[in-house]
Amino acid sequence: MSSVTTPAQRRQLVQQLPELRAADASAISRFLDAIWAEHGLARASLDSYRRDLEGLARWRDGAGGGLEGIDRAGLFDYLAWRTRHGWSPRSNARLLSALRAFFADAVRRGQREEDPTALLDPPRLPRLLPKALAESQIDALLAAPPVDDALGLRDRAMLELMYAAGLRVSELVGLPATAVNLRQGVLRVTGKGSKERLVPLGEESQHWLERYLQQARPQLAGSRPVPAAADGQVPLFIEPSLRPLSRQAFWHLVKRHATVAGIDPQRISPHGLRHSFATHLLNRGADLRALQMLLGHSSLSTTQIYTLVAREHLQKLHARHHPRG
């Protein structure tokens, strides 16, 4: 079979795999229940683990005892198959992380004597620096939505809030209406691993949130009560259908407003607003520990990558303006 390179072709390839066997489905569900109880992983992380484990189980189709019975050679074969068909090193590294957790749990429960991932090295990953927008580009993007209609006012409030608070996309679209305290000027955010943090709001984001809540949200809802989402919370940002926005819907609105702002939509992503938030704070002298708390990073090493971006910015300024740069 020829190599597959596009995401659509890879999805089609996965769809052609055999159906998930009942024994493998049971093993995966048991593992996810255990890891959720032990670590309190977020729903998105659990869904990612499920997709990765189900992909391997369907590829194996019960051979050699299925998912729980696979050996190291079988894992090598599966990783080679994925590489041959265009899965990236980053995607394979995420898969390996899921497999390590799954087989560590199997060894701990006495289902296996050894972990078949023990001698598997993770793929070598390129170091990717976050892509931050210039402050002038941020200004243009935030001004792009037409605020004379309800959807444009909602979009402006979402963009302002994401940049002001450095939110992840999933955090933004998943905000409940109760997360905002405009009187105190803070936002309660539930991040990865269901960890909560309080993020201060600036005057601009508060202004646009107030306008959204007072003008746009009542127009979008009309006389209809906004129903609770799957988590039981009433969403803060809604579609005309009263449903909360999906991550994909927010991705599309960012691209649309970027085009209006004169920014190449291929060079921007929703996560770019979070990167811009962090980079701009560091460029203006923010403390790294404070930035870690604002971003909700569990490890300071994750936050430290932004110092590389800030250093690169300073080097460019020096080269451009210093007489001997």
**322 is a catalytic site residue:** no
Catalytic residue among 60, 156, 217, 274: 274
Question: For this structure, is 280 an active site residue?
Answer: no
d(CA 54, CA 59): 8
Examine the residue annotation and report whether 257 is marked as an active-site residue of this protein: no
Q: Say how many residues make up the chain.
A: 325
The question of whether 306 is a catalytic residue gets the answer yes
The answer to whether 93 and 125 are in contact (CB under 8 A) is: yes
Can you spell out the DSSP letters for 120-178?
PPPPP---PPP-PPPHHHHHHHHT-S-TTSHHHHHHHHHHHHHHHHT--HHHHHT-BGG
Catalytic residue among 112, 131, 271, 313: 271
CA-wise closest residue to 172 among 157, 193, 186 = 157
- Give the contacts of 142 (CB within 8 A, at least 6 positions apart): 156, 159, 160, 163
CA distance 252 to 27: 37
Cα separation, 297 vs 206, whole angstroms: 24
Q: Which of 168, 217, 257, 275 is catalytic?
A: 168
192 is catalytic: yes
Q: Is 78 a catalytic residue?
A: no
Q: 56 CB contacts (<8 Å, ≥6 apart)?
A: 67, 70, 78, 95, 99
Q: Residue 238: beta bridge partners?
A: 244
Catalytic residue among 10, 21, 192, 252: 192
Name the residues annotated as catalytic.
168, 192, 271, 274, 297, 306
